Structures are given as structure tokens and as C-alpha cells.
Structure 1
Amino acid sequence: MKRLALFRHAKSDWNDARLRDFDRPLNQRGRTGAALMGLHIRDYGMDWQRIIASPAVRVTQTIELGSEAAGHTPPVIWDRRIYLASSPTLMELLREQDEQADAIIMVGHNPGLEDLIFDLVPDDGKSPLRDEVEDKFPTAAFAVLELAIDAWSEIDDGCARLVHLMRPRDLDARLGPSLED
């Protein structure tokens, strides 16, 4: 079995219209959410061997702040293909991972991460967490999937169970939906 965590970047700043989308930093709420989720990821207790991540500024800041709060950073592989990628692209990138890592965190963007959950986790009515993701996979959300595979090259539609979902608002009500855009 392999484990895959999907961590959406924290809330980004839209105030500077001159910035390319790729270069948008986190806003203050995003900075708070990234640190809070970093602590949660640490406390989840999994030995994550690797992070694969989009190099977009909001993702790099999410990882930096989360890792700083957690006091630990697994090795990070930056891959531009994750930036605004579709689910099939993300799945192909996962198939390329070597077998030495049993637990990987992918940090990136929607709608790709959300669509990846929908592709990997069957819509069979047995996953209340999947139903929550259908409602919304907000910024800084963290989902853990258990994949019924022995090798990353075997990843395919329907091979996973969604076993954990945490959003910043679940840890701090001030980061809740009334503040979500």
C-alpha cells in the first residue's frame, strides 16, 4: 500500500494585479493557515518521505511556513508540471515516482488536486469524506489517501480510499467559510 497526501496551497493574495498568477504570494490568512496546517500535518504522525510540489510562489510559501511551524521538511522535488495541472497529468507524475517512497505529499492547485481525489476515490457512496471534497476542497486543505497499489506505476482510477481530510477552518473557526472567497 502507498499513501498520498494532497495539500492545496494556502490562501493567496490578489491585491497586486501586475503579478502573474504564478508569482502571487500568500495573504495574511494564507500565512496563518499554512503554519496551522503544517502543525496538523506533523501531528498526523505519518513519516512522509517526499514532497512533490508546484514551484508557484504561493506553494513554496505554503511549504516554507508549514515546515517552519512543524520543525521538519521532507525532501522537496519541485515540478512545474504540477502548476495548474489536470488530474491525468498529476497521476502521470505520480507514476514516475520511485518505489523507495511509500508516503508522498503533493502540494499544488485546484482544480487538479480535487479532480485527482475524484478520480482515485470511487464514487460508491461509501466515502463521506469524498462527499465533503465534492462540496469544496478549500485553500490549505489536506487530504490523505490510501492507495491499494504496491508500486506508484500502478496508480489508476478508483485505487484509493480517502481516509483523512482537514481544512484550516476545522482547526480554527476564524479561518472558516465566512472568510473564504
Structure 2
Amino acid sequence: MTKTLILMRHAKSDWGAPSLPDKLRPLNARGQRSATALGDWLRAKGHLPQTVLCSSAIRTRETLAGLGLMNTTVNYSDDLYHAEADVMFQVLKRASSDTVLMIGHNPGICDFAQMLMEDAPDHIRFHDYPTCATLVARFDIADWTALQWRSGQPVDFTVPRDLIGG
């Protein structure tokens, strides 16, 4: 039995209103295009989550909406807002679906991805995890409670620039 994690950083946010609290920042136009492109990529590759674990921030919610995913259970969590890797690890261990999409923020999401993988995917941007970077990883476990660090096998990794250009 295997479990699959789709680990996504939120798309590019809008900094046009500097007085807006960080948690309330929306996506900018580029971020909206990126989220749509990533949704198309996930569907084309057959990487379809049953459950989404999403930070409660507006930009992560808008990233999820832009993906256009159907038939998924969504759990918004304050715990994932700017979470560190160990918090993300604990949240994921409580999941029950075979395929889970987690949407969060840097630097935690980049650290989490690196700490989960036995070997890094062969992509130049994996180690800085730019906005809307998406890792698909498989774990040879029957239940998320058995998740261990450095146990993931990369299946796919992409960034918006791979899909829609500069």
C-alpha cells in the first residue's frame, strides 16, 4: 500500500496593499494564472487528491480555488499558516486519505519537502521552492501515522515557469 502527498506552496500573492495583514493578502494576476496552470497539470498527470489540507490564509485558499479540483474534502487549518516542517509533519500524520494535497508557505514548506524526501527530485528549483512549486511524492506506508522523515520517493515536481513560461 502507498500514500501520495502533493505538496504545494501558494501562488504569487499581491503586495499592492502594504497595510493589509499578511494573512489577508490575495493572489495577484500571475498567481491566479499559475494556480490554474497547476490545476491543469495535476489533472493531466492524474495527481488528484481526495483530501486537501490548506493553510487558512487568503492566498492559500485562492490558490486552491484556482486549481479547480473537484470531489475533494477540504480542511482549512490555522496550524498550517506559516507552519514549520515539524508542524506540517504532525498535521499530515493525522490524514486518512490515500492522496493528500497540502498547501502552505515558505520557508516551512521547502524545509518539509526536503526533510521528507529520501532523494530530491531532479529539478533546479526544488531547493528554493518558489511560489506554486508542487512536489508529488509517494510513501510506502499503509497509513499516514507510519510516516517517517526521509522516506518519500519523488514522482513529479514542477513550478509555474515550467508550464506557462516566465
Q: TM-score, with normalisation over the residues of structure 1?
A: 0.86
State the partner residue of 2:133. Answer: 141
Once residues 40 and 3 of structure 1 are traced to their aligned partners in structure 2, the CA distance between those partners, rounded to angstroms, is 16
Looking at CA atoms only, which structure, 1 or 2, has the larger radius of gyration?
1
Q: Which amino acid aligns with 2:140?
A: A
Q: 3-state DSSP class of the match of 2:137?
A: strand
**Aligned structure 1 segments of 4 or more residues deviating by more than 6 angstroms:** none
Rounded Cα–Cα distance in structure 2 between residues aligned with 1:109 and 1:77: 16
- Establish whether residue 105 from structure 1 lines up as the match of residue 106 from structure 2: no
Whole-angstrom distance in 2 between the partners of 1:27 and 1:131: 25
Query: Deviation of residue 7 (structure 1)?
Result: 1.2
What runs of 5+ residues in structure 2 fail to find an aligned partner? none
- Separation in structure 1 between the aligned mates of residue 81 and residue 130 of structure 2, nearest angstrom: 17
> Is residue 129–residue 164 contact of structure 1 (8 Å, CA) maintained in 2?
no
After superposition, residues 41-80 of structure 1 pair within 5 angstroms as 41-67=42-68, 72-80=70-78
Report the structure, 1 or 2, having the larger helix content. 1
User: Which residue type is aligned with residue 14 of structure 1?
Assistant: W
CA positional deviation for 1:127 = 3.8
1:22, 1:114 → 2: CA distance?
19
Does residue 94 of structure 1 match 2:92?
Answer: yes
Consecutive unaligned residues of structure 1, counting only runs of 5 or more, are 177-181
The 3 A distance-change label for structure 1 pair 73 and 114 is farther
Are 1:160 and 2:161 counterparts?
A: no
Q: Deviations over 1:21-69 (max 9, x none)?
A: 00000011111111111111111113421111011000111111211xx
Q: Aligned equivalents of 1:103 and 1:117: distance in 2? A: 16
Q: Which residue of 2 aligns with 1:18?
A: 19
Residue identity (%)? 32
Q: Distance in 2 between matches of 1:66 and 1:145?
A: 19
Question: How many residues matched?
Answer: 165
Deviation at 1:128, TM superposition (A): 4.3
**2: CA distance, partners of 1:130 / 1:169:** 12
Q: Describe the shift of the 1:38–1:14 C-alpha distance in structure 2 as closer, same or farther (beyond 3 A).
A: same
Q: CA deviation at 1:131?
A: 5.9
- Contact kept, 8 Å, 1:149 with 1:159, in 2: the verdict is no
1:82-114 CA distance string (max 9 Å, x none): 00000000000111122xx11000011111111
Aligned 8 A contact 2:42 2:48 in 1: no
